[in-house]
Amino acid sequence: MVVIFFHRIIEPLASRCAKFRFKPLSEEIMSSRILYICKEEELCLDAE
């Protein structure tokens, strides 16, 4: 389960879940990953 507001999940359900917090990715990391995926999938992507 992926949620933005964990506190809105009822306790019986929340107690059965593992909780992970992730920091936002930098724009550089995101763009390099998108370019890699496009290359592997042989997709064309504009530089915009």
Give residue 46's pLDDT.
78
Please report whether residue 12 resides in a domain. Answer: no
Give residue 48's pLDDT.
65
Q: How many domains does the chain have?
A: 1
Please report whether residue 42 resides in a domain. Answer: yes
- Give the tokens for residue 8: 């809105």
Q: Exposed, middle or buried, 2 (CB in 10 Å: 0-12/13-18/19+)? A: exposed
Spell out the per-residue pLDDT of the chain, length 48, in tens: 888 888 899 999 989 999 888 899 999 999 999 999 999 999 988 766
Give residue 10's pLDDT.
92
Please report whether residue 45 resides in a domain. Answer: yes
